[in-house]
Amino acid sequence: MLKKLLLPIGLLFFIIMSESVIDGTSIIMNLKSVLLVTAGTLLSAFVAFPLKTFGDLFKSLIEVFKHQETNNKSLIKELESLALIWRRHGIVALEKARKRVDNVFLQKGIELVVDGYDRYDIRNIMEKDYELYFSRKESQVNILNTLAKLAPVFGFVGTILGLINVLNSMEDPAMIGKGMALALLTTLYGILLANFLFFPLSKKLSEYTKAEATVLNIILEGIMDIAEQKTSKSIFHRLNSYLDISQLSRMHKEKDVSRRVQPKPQMQVQ
């Protein structure tokens, strides 16, 4: 809850602090400055990247802000249960279990196991999907990094335009003031867009992509073990390396508790 409130609180604080700085400038002047920087930045990025990548970026950002914290512990338990189903009940039961899996990458891995591919083919196919997926994510992060670099550049362009306006209006003091305001405001908005919007979004998407990479690595390693029909216990212990210390200790405590609460068989009195 606190993390969700940090962004609006920070924006509100920044608006209040900056209001005194731009209070003397007109709304039209502010709009001109914002439009100049934003339009120039976006147009340059549209030239540099395909439009489809922008659509994917927009979808990814929506997903990032809706995303809950990744729970790798439940994923490892799911892989453990799938391995148990495969060893105890066979391929038909594993196919039925695949239909209840939510993760698309895991679904495909189980499908390859059910279809009888060997572990080398499974690894090659899934690694290719893995590489293509993260190549698209890398392009999306590159868009945000490019926007962050372009915004201050177009702020500087606005500064040059403002100074030209000042030099063309030296005889009119009122026009000199407007030209200087445009020159300084475009620089301000370029820096703000870069450091308060594009760079933070780029870092957020990068961290989300790292978390996704961990999830897909867990799935890939788990699918390899399931294909080799390894025991669920060996899969559990092998994938524990992806958990941090707190998650690992919590999981072991839960297993200890579950063992303690199991009812002991009672002796029947004859």
Per-residue pLDDT band for 91 (boundaries 50, 70, 90) equals: confident
In terms of Cα–Cα distance, which of 221, 206, 201, 71 is closest to 148? 201
* pLDDT (0 to 100) of residue 28: 53
| Residue bearing the bigger pLDDT, 28 or 199 | 199
pLDDT at 249 over 70: no
In a domain, 24, yes or no: no
99-103, 237-241, 266-270: which is most confident: 99-103
In terms of Cα–Cα distance, which of 166, 142, 162 is closest to 154? 162
In a domain, 269, yes or no: no
| Residue bearing the bigger pLDDT, 6 or 241 | 241
Within 8 A by CB and 6+ apart from 187, the residues are 152, 155, 156, 158, 159
* pLDDT (0 to 100) of residue 265: 43
**Number of C-beta neighbours around residue 119 at 10 A:** 15
The pTM of the full predicted model, rounded to 2 decimals, is 0.78
Per the CB < 8 A criterion, the answer to whether 228 and 119 are in contact is: yes
* pLDDT (0 to 100) of residue 121: 92
1-15, 94-108, 154-168: which is most confident: 94-108
In a domain, 114, yes or no: yes
Average confidence score pLDDT of the chain: 81
In a domain, 45, yes or no: no
pLDDT > 70: percent of the chain: 78
Within 8 A by CB and 6+ apart from 191, the residues are 151, 152, 155
pLDDT in tens, 213-247: 989 999 999 999 998 888 888 888 888 877 764 45
In a domain, 178, yes or no: yes
User: Can you read off the two tokens belonging to residue 157?
Assistant: 């362009």
Within 8 A by CB and 6+ apart from 48, the residues are 146
Q: Give the count of domains, the chain.
A: 1
Per the CB < 8 A criterion, the answer to whether 239 and 79 are in contact is: yes
In a domain, 130, yes or no: yes
pLDDT at 148 over 90: yes
Domain hosting 212: range is 71-242
In a domain, 5, yes or no: no
Scanning 23-168, the segments in alpha helix (DSSP H) are 27-48, 51-66, 72-89, 91-98, 104-114, 119-168
In a domain, 235, yes or no: yes
pLDDT at 176 over 80: no
